[in-house]
Structure 1
């Protein structure tokens, strides 16, 4: 399978009760428009996934990632606007320096309660509710999942 390689990171507050999220609210043609999401994006040629995650965090939030922990991986066949396959490396970022920006070209940044995120109180991809409990588990273990998409909706979810 050919796929677009991407990172998705969750910067947590020092007490680990909040997570910095982007509300995609700048471009109405964005497939993520109106949704809250972690920070991240496509890997650049010649870039390893940790370097790519740190770059995306810096570009999108202005923060420097001091600690980056692999939460897991997800294969998203058919996720893209035109049915492209995506493969994501998900990270927790518990240690960082700097002051987050108010927003960027893709949206505004907000510190959100992790409990609210897990309870589904934010507009998000419905499918995120399947894997976010694994990302924010009290005793997290790396997971590797697959979530096929069709017509903009997750069709199933499995992981090991």
Structure 2
């Protein structure tokens, strides 16, 4: 299983989103996603997400909130992916250009109008309800065919 993280940076009723339009052969190509990425050797989930936030945005995360864990069977080029879902509203720094796409602060009431992975829309419900979610999302041809969510 490939382990990954995603973080939705929050400020003033806005969320920092990454429009993935710069990389060739990008599994996320054309979609809006949070910032994050794959674990490196020896990293915890928090190490990974903080590193990815800094690499992709230039921002330094001071504290994080974990909202859940989701598994995606077979999604990552045929491999299973496990992803930790975070938010961060305590950060510092200045945003720089990202080589993976375009970073943009999006008003929270407009987030659900963006083209994202179908399953990602659920994460915004998770953020609102304040509970921990353990989910499985199965895709076929970019469409969700199964969604299981256990809430704690």
Q: Is TM-score (shorter-chain normalized) higher than 0.5?
A: yes
- Name 1:133's counterpart in structure 2: 125
- Aligned pair 1:115/2:113, yes or no? no
Report the Cα distance in structure 2 between the residues aligned to 1:75 and 1:86, rounded to whole angstroms.
Answer: 6
Native 8 Å contact 1:9 1:90 kept in 2: yes
- Name 2:52's counterpart in structure 1: 56
* Aligned pairs, number: 150
Q: How does 1:88-107 map to 2 (within 5 A)?
A: 88-101=83-96, 103-107=97-101
Indicate the larger mover: 126-135 or 18-27: 126-135
TM-score by length of 1: 0.88
RMSD between aligned residues:
1.3
Q: For residues 14-69 of structure 1, what are the alpha-carbon distances to aligned partners after superposition, in whole Å with 9 as ceiling and x for unaligned?
A: x3x10111110112421211111000000011111101110000000000001111
Give 5+ residue unaligned stretches, structure 2.
Answer: none
Report the Cα distance in structure 1 between the residues aligned to 2:69 and 2:14, rounded to whole angstroms.
Answer: 22
Report the Cα distance in structure 2 between the residues aligned to 1:141 and 1:79, rounded to whole angstroms.
Answer: 25
Give 5+ residue unaligned stretches, structure 1.
Answer: none
* More strand as a share of residues: 2
TM-score by length of 2: 0.93
- Aligned pair 1:86/2:81, yes or no? yes
Find runs of 4+ consecutive structure 1 residues off by over 6 angstroms: none
